[in-house]
Structure 1
Amino acid sequence: MLKDGGIGASSKRREDVRFLTGAGNYTDDINIRGQAHVFFLRSDVAHGTLNAVDTSAAEQMPGVVRIFTGADFAEIGGMPCGWQITDRQGNPMQEPRHPVLAHGKVRHVGEPIAAVVAETLGQARDAAEAIEVEIDDLPAVVDMKAALQDATPKVHNDLTSNLCYDWGFVEENREAVNKAFEDAAHVTTLDLVNNRLIANPIEPRVAIGDYARGTGEHTLYTTSQNPHVIRLLMGAFVLGIPEHKLRVVAPDVGGGFGSKIFHYQEEAFCTFAAKACNRPVKWTSSRSEAFMSDAHGRDHVTRIELALDKDNNFTALRTDTHANMGAYLSTFAPSVPTWLHGTLMAGNYRTPLIYVNVKAVFTNTVPVDAYRGAGRPEATYQLERVVDKAAHELGVDPIALRRQNFVTEFPYATPVAVEYDIGDYVATMDKLEELADRDGFVTRRKESEARGKLRGFGVNCYIEACGIAPSNLVGQLGARAGLYESATVRVNATGGLVVMTGSHSHGQGHETSFAQVVAEMIGIDENMVEIVHGDTANTPMGMGTYGSRSIAVGGSAMVRATEKIIAKAKKIASHLLEASENDIELKDGAFSVAGTDKSVAWGDVTLAAYVPHNYPLEDIEPGLEETAFYDPSNFTYPAGTYACEVELDPETGHVSIERFTAADDFGNVINPMIVTGQVHGGLAQGIGQALLENCAYDGDGQLLSASYMDYAMPRASDLPFYSVDHSCQTPCTHNPLGVKGCGEAGAIGSPPSVVNAVLDALRSGGFDIGHIDMPLTPARVWSAMRETAG
């Protein structure tokens, strides 16, 4: 039976009313009186010596307020990296300076060289075209493996090489892993590429800087997933602004998928320029700018090997990965191929020995950082493709091979440093087989073959680590910030609540699901709870939203703050009811004395807190407001099993997805409708990566996929109607809500299931193809078929 409200109810998203009626307040909707506009002149050369930037003619153009170049920022800190990796020899990674505007060299197409501030955007653009730039071209470094050869030019002259770090994990396992491979009854090897992606949220990035000369206060309005982190990084490490003089506001944000976590040059520039020009300064990215200035995702080249014994039990796994950092280190980039990837290589399986090697490489391309899933999709893709290939080589059922090797006892300490607290991978596989109707697949395949098509069935499992934590552990691993979350709960005299959170919403439905949690705890209507986020001036310090951490970490902070509220309210109620505090119960929005009919309403208690005519002043202060910080003790571990069914046209190589089933374990679910929507969105992105999306550079470092004419985003017609289930729930054991997180699962679990399904279809047609790299475009599939046919 569906609930009407509270935890477990599919309450409609309250924020959608303003979004669907055009009443949202996005950053580009903000216009400050007297503001000027910015246009960035960006490099059209991937690698070159920047000899001169002549702005003299441009400065005389109509409407120009001021033109800035790299020289204006020479004495200012570079863009900071928020995570330091130590290599397998114990040395810190190479960390080059990342200037706000290019100075001395340009290192990727799209790097800003100069910024024109003018009265209108058109005038700024015209003036930028009049700037004369002198660049001596240098050979572009694009291929990661070639970048590590001694004769290859260096992206950064002050570094010893193009290698950022050479990371081995777990280094002390290395010899034992190698020995396990020597003793293995069977070894499966796979070389694969995790293709580079561009996030493409519906709203491009925007930055507006403002400066109040009378108070010395800076304000940045920006499209950010974590405004407090932006304030910390920009204030402390770039511009040297005290935090109490810097306010960062992220209003309604139209999607992020990770690309809006990071501190970008445009944010620092607009904040700096507002003071320098003594007026507000606004920049809005065009879509073409976004392609070459937003951080890209993925871009790994990997060899993975799986060792099995004579009974087909997994005995060891080893991987060797080249991970592209691009030209500079973006905010969290070093952590993605390492701690967010290597620690998940055990997957859902009992694999006693694992070794992961990652070489992070600088190239003359746009910086690469976290994109939906961040490290976990890369790990899952490698693992689930090699498991499927092993099943085919051994001639065993791919589901049976997975079931045989599942982790079944919890807690389970993996050989890659993390401990799964709870899970039930058998249950999600059982549910998947039921929903996907695997028994009926043979009939469906015959129907496809009768129409001249090939049909394939692919399956995969995944596990991810969400709610990245705890702070003391990640600090030892190189994080340069804490990873707690915060909440302040303010109760008004009439009983309504305002919950101020450090988490940020950019499409996840926080204003609905967070309210459900607090309303359920007190027993009041959800409409009495207002969620406030996105403004460092009126929310407690928090780490923002990414890594499916909002409900697990941010929600837990709200629970702790609300518990403090309830504890204080019980003291007030016990005074009003003349009863012992230990006898007071809160249920359905009323305090009562256990075993009696004496009660007082929630609103009467909150009024007493602010109108303390009858109040235990000797014990507690008036008012009802509490703050809590929550630093989790472990990651949460959502897990699931996905199945994809495809139909393939052997004449053209075109693949269509006919059925897709997702069985996930997200722990306790706050709002099933929102969770289903999150999975749907993730599946669309994962299927997009598997079949369509690919960010491509040529040998000169020119971005070939720089618009939607060349970068294929999935459309509704490319996707089926998914069958999504999250009834297999094993509640997290270490947070008060028992939740795990759901925002990234679809993007993590779907790519390997699509590829596995396509290869299964090809085998049914007599094409024994071991692997095709994503995206599986018609051209790639058709070419692989022709090569196999001879």
Structure 2
Amino acid sequence: MAGTGVGARVQRLEDKRFITGRGRYTDDINRDGQLYACFLRSPHAHARILSIDTSEALGAPGVEAIYTGKDLRKFVPTSDDLLEDEVGGLICGWMIHSKDGSPMKAGAHPALAKDYVRYVGDHVAVVIATTLRQAQDAAEKIRVDYEVLPAVVDAGEAQKPGAPEVHAGIERNTVFEWELGDKAKTEAAFASAAHVTRLDIVNNRLVPNPMEPRAAIGEYDPGEDSFTLHVTSQNPHVARLVLSAFVGLAPEHKLRVVAPDVGGGFGSKIFIYAEEVVCLWAARRLKRPVKWTSDRTEAFLADAHGRDHVTRAELATDGDGRITGLRVKTIANMGAYLSTFASSVPTYLYATLLSGQYAIPAIYAEVDAVYTNTAPVDAYRGAGRPEATFVVERLVEVTARELGMDPVEFRRRNFVKSFPHQTPVIMMYDAGDYDAALTKALQIADVSGFPARKSESERRGKLRGLGYSAYIEACGIAPSQAVGSLGAGVGLWESAEVRVNPTGNIEVLTGSHSHGQGHETTFAQLVSDRLGVPIETVKVVHGDTDKVQFGMGTYGSRSGAVGMSAISKALDKVIAKGKKVAAHVLEASEDDIEFKDGKFGVAGTDKAIDFASTALQAYIAHKFNGAELEPGLKEGAFYDPTNFTFPAGVHVCEVEIDPDTGVTTIERFTAVDDFGNVINPMIVEGQVHGGIAQGVGQALLEGARYDADGQLVTASFMDYTMPRAADLPPLKVGMTVTPAPSNPLGMKGCGEAGAIAAPPAVINAITDALGHEDVTMPATPAVVWRAAQRARMPMAAE
């Protein structure tokens, strides 16, 4: 409808409860008689557990139980007896095969450690008590005898001879040695190249830090022999599937998973964690609800981290400045265990995007995934795409500089210019106009005025630089047939159901999950627009496996292109049935019924009935006269797209550096993105702003650091520096539009763009200002100060 439909800047409907403190998060939920769980975590990165003495802790006030890995046993479904079978461990759901065809080597990942701990924060035991304080106090009384073992924390060291073995029998700590592309063709391109640029790149490890820490409440109903898990999850149905089919806690129809309001995820809440398994299992054992809420230190230690790549990258060009080949060798740190989707991130979510926006004839990528004695690494906002974009955009920028070309002209010369475009690394780009985004970004960023601003900075003793990032990503993480052929253990379609009640109000049940994206608004906007009903009559329901049919959740910017497309298909069916109902009521042929502006009418006449009245007639059913038309107005749909979507754009960063302090100030930041058709521009702009903030955080501030013994030395906000408002200027955002042909709404996805594009834009700007490339992320003042001194005195620095 006008003002609330597709394209309108509707304020988020869900914000009323959030900003008034009426949101309902997992930690807000309490159950009668609930107990509290506290996990004893390993203080060592690598150790053998010789013994665990819980005798003193068991006698502490309020303690109901203490469990270790040896206690986790399955229950007979019809009795209280324990079986000898162990509760299943946590799994990785994406199979990757090495170059030689062998499957990846997945080390066992128990919910509570058995015999060995493999990173600081690993789960050793759980204390369950009447209050949280009692559980915490008792945990301190547990005595664990460890045999401390050597640890390996650096991905670059993990495969070297003599490196400590994280999992016994997994040689060189290597999960897989994987490749993609045409090696021979790429080597030929380099052999004939006029110029080759080489870079060593480290993509720094990040800690996700959503506003709401993870939490779980496990409940067991003896009368129904059923379980309920309230949890901070981005995909509750997948959580139910894994906990049922692989961990073996309960049949799916006996397990309900509810993810209520969730305060941010950024990928870290996609995965299945040990705490959820243990809380559910303990609730069954104790016949009382068991609640756990992470504190921030636990989140730093045990939430899945992101990024952590070490890469050697090379770009070949001919005499005309055209790219002829790209060669990449990456070592990807997986941490101590394979998290739920970890193996897909440095492979099919990374290497398949190494062509960037460029027509590169030959690409060859090798990825070695390795275990280390650190927290598991999995998808974090962008998941593989930021790592790929950083490699490509740093190479492109440095190549242009080495060739003495304007980096804008070098990009234009090598952009993909016609579509569809088949890359050498699987992806077929279906639509785009990369040159248009670049042109618009240059204008908004006032690049033509940069020389004058640079001169003014120099007058004040400051350095000023300009950096570009022309990114592309693959969103939707589909179709199912494609991802299945690449090793995914699930299909990546989405489900939806549209229920029209007799009075005409509407419930939309979606398998997508909202944890900050504004789905309750944008999904309602689509329904309002399609059905011509007021937006306030639409309710969006998600996050409850007992209410919503199986869905795949939210990640990879899939909720619009895939989730809303499923809703669109269900709306098509609702309208089609509405025409049948209207035809009976208006005593006309169904072929003569038109639907427009919220009314069903007979073509060429003034006979019409509005949507709400049609819904009522569908349930009354008096006019059907025994025809083959079922009462009611409720339709469901599944949507499996035909291709990924490919958002793309250009981000421009302008920085000023104080060489005396190393402080980098972002003076201007411009983002021009092509997200296809946009439902709510205000929400999209907010997503872009948030992504840029996280990307700037990676570039300038954030970095998870372990010492040589595997201790996380950045385990609090005192040491791990998050971006703040003062770190960012007002952001200038623009858009171009090329609708995606792979889904009925023409949408592409916007949630990850800023986090993908910003890091190379910032680093390219810093290196432009300094005049050399020796800068690593995070480019803290100390890093930039040292780099600035090298720029001043290169010989002395050497």
What TM-score do the two structures reach when normalised by structure 2?
0.97
Contact 2:386 2:755 in 1 (8 A): yes
2:79 aligns with none
Checking the alignment, whether the CA contact within 8 Å between 2:774 and 2:787 is kept in structure 1 is no
Listed one character per residue, the Cα deviations across residues 79-106 of structure 1 (whole Å, up to 9, x for unaligned) are: 0111110111111000111000011100
Correspondence for 2:740? 732
Mapping for residues 650-689 of structure 1, pairs under 5 Å: 650-689=659-698
2:789 equivalent among 779, 782, 786: 786
Equivalent-residue separation in structure 2 for 1:393 and 1:601 (angstroms): 66
Report if the CA contact (8 A) 1:73-1:99 is conserved. no
Q: Output the amino acid matched with 2:115.
A: G
**Corresponding residue for 1:766?**
none
Shift of 1:3: 5.5
- The aligned counterpart of 1:100 is 111
Counterpart of 2:360, as a letter, is T
1:593-616 alpha-carbon deviations (Å, 9 max, x no partner): 111111111111100111112225
Cα distance, 1:757 vs structure 2: 0.5
Query: In the alignment, which of 534, 537, 540 is matched to residue 528 of structure 1?
Result: 537
Structure 2 Cα separation of the partners of residues 8 and 411 of structure 1:
27
Which residue is 1:598 aligned to? 607
Match of 2:631 among 604, 622, 640: 622
Aligned to 1:517: 526
CA distance in 2, matches of 1:54, 1:13: 52
Give structure 1 regions of 4+ aligned residues with deviation exceeding 4 angstroms. none
Q: Tell me, what secondary structure is at the counterpart of 2:624?
A: coil
**What is the CA-CA distance between 1:73 and the residue it aligns to?**
2.3
In structure 2, the partner of 1:464 is 473
**Separation in 2, partners of 1:454, 1:349:** 30
Q: Which residue of 2 aligns with 1:613?
A: 622
Output aligned runs, 1:346-495, within 5 Å.
Answer: 346-495=355-504
- Judged with a 3 Å threshold, the aligned counterparts in structure 2 of structure 1 residues 169 and 506 are, in CA distance, closer, same or farther, namely same
Distance 1:92 1:215, change over 3 A: same
Q: Partner letter of residue 295 of structure 1?
A: A
**Within 5 A, what are the aligned runs for 1:22-33?**
22-33=21-32
Deviation, 1:146, is: 1.8
The counterpart of 1:312, out of the listed 279, 298, 321, is: 321
Distance 1:600 1:26 in 2: 42
Contact persistence 1:453–1:650 (CA under 8 A): yes
CA distance in 1, matches of 2:460, 2:549: 61
Give deviations 1:417-471, integer Å, cap 9, x for gaps: 1101100001100100110101111111122122221111111100000000111
Q: Which of 163, 166, 173 is the matching residue for 1:152? A: 163
Per the alignment, residue 752 of structure 1 pairs with: 760
Structure 1 residue aligned with 2:778: 775
Structure 2 residue corresponding to 1:85, chosen from 96, 99, 103: 96
Counterpart position of 1:45? 44
Report the AA paired with residue 754 of structure 1.
V
Partners of 2:738 and 2:30 lie apart in 1 by: 48
SS of equivalent to 1:396: coil
Deviation at 1:159, TM superposition (A): 2.3
Shift, 1:153, TM fit:
1.7
Q: Which residue does 1:342 correspond to in 2?
A: 351
Corresponding residue for residue 641 of structure 1? 650
Matching residue's letter, 2:394: R
User: Identity of counterpart residues, as a percentage?
Assistant: 59
C-alpha distance 40-240 of structure 1, shift in aligned 2 (>3 A): closer
Aligned AA (2:774): H
Between the aligned partners of 1:185 and 1:602, the Cα distance in structure 2 is 67
- In structure 2, the partner of 1:237 is 246
Residue aligning to 2:749 = 741
Preserved CA contact (<8 Å) 1:192 1:303: yes
- The Cα offsets for residues 538-569 of structure 1, whole Å up to 9 and x where unpaired, read as 00100100000001000000000111111001
AA matched with 1:119: T
Match of 2:180 among 149, 152, 169: 169
Q: Could you tell me how far apart the structure 2 residues matched to 1:642 and 1:46 are?
A: 39
Which residue pairs with 2:76 in the alignment?
none
CA drift of 1:586 comes to 1.1
2:156 & 2:731 partners in 1: Cα distance? 39
- For the 8 Å contact 1:187–1:307, the answer to whether it is kept is yes
What RMSD, in angstroms, separates the aligned Cα atoms of the two structures? 1.0
C-alpha contact 1:608 1:615 (8 A) present in aligned 2: no
The number of aligned residues is 781
The one-letter amino acid paired with 1:157 is: A
Task: Give the structure 1 partner of residue 770 of structure 2.
Answer: 762
Matches of 2:123 and 2:88 in 1, distance apart? 16
CA contact 1:209–1:220 (8 Å) conserved in 2: yes
Specify the alignment match of 2:66 in structure 1: 67
Q: What is the one-letter code of the residue matched to 2:777?
A: M
Match for 1:632 among 630, 633, 641? Answer: 641
* Whole-Å separation in 2 of the counterparts to 1:633 and 1:88: 28
TM-score, length-scaled by structure 1 = 0.98
8 Å contact kept, 1:691–1:776: yes
Q: Deviations for 1:322-370, whole angstroms, at most 9, x for unmatched residues?
A: 0000000000000000000010000000000000100000000000000
Q: Provide the residue aligned with 1:140 in structure 2.
A: 151
Which residue number corresponds to residue 200 of structure 1? Answer: 209
3-state secondary structure, aligned to 1:235: helix
Partner in structure 2 of residue 116 of structure 1: 127
- Residue 617 of structure 1 and its aligned partner are, at CA, apart by 3.7
1:208-239 per-position Cα deviation (integer Å, ceiling 9, x unaligned): 00000000110000000000000000111113
Equivalent residue runs for 1:216-295 within 5 Å: 216-295=225-304
Question: Deviation at 1:158?
Answer: 3.5
Structure 2 match to 1:496: 505
Pair 1:209 & 2:218 matched: yes
Shift of 1:472: 1.4
User: Deviation string for 1:51-75 (max 9, x for gaps)?
Assistant: 1111111111110000000101261
Aligned 8 A contact 2:205 2:704 in 1:
yes
Q: Which secondary structure does the structure 2 equivalent of 1:614 belong to?
A: helix
Q: Report the Cα distance in structure 1 between the residues aligned to 2:301 and 2:624, rounded to whole angstroms.
A: 61
In structure 1, stretches of 5+ residues that fail to align are 764-768
Whichever residue aligns with residue 411 of structure 2, its letter is R
SS of aligned partner of 2:614: helix
Q: Secondary structure at the match of 2:157?
A: helix
The residue correspondences of 1:581-592 to structure 2 (distance < 5 A) are 581-592=590-601
Q: Distance in 1 between matches of 2:267 and 2:152?
A: 26
- CA distance in 2 between counterparts of 1:304 and 1:616 reads 72
1:197 partner SS: coil
Gaps of 5+ in 2: 74-85
2:711 aligned to 702, 706, 711, which one?
A: 702
Q: Is the 8 A contact 2:156 2:310 kept in 1?
A: no
Contact 1:487 1:499 (8 Å CA) reproduced: yes
* Amino acid in structure 1 at the alignment position of 2:9: S
The match for 2:577 is 568
Q: Which amino acid aligns with 1:111?
A: D
Question: Distance between the aligned counterparts of 2:459 and 2:280, measured in 1?
Answer: 64
Tell me, yes or no, if structure 1 residue 712 matches structure 2 residue 715.
no
- 8 Å CA contact 2:249–2:281 kept in 1: the answer is no
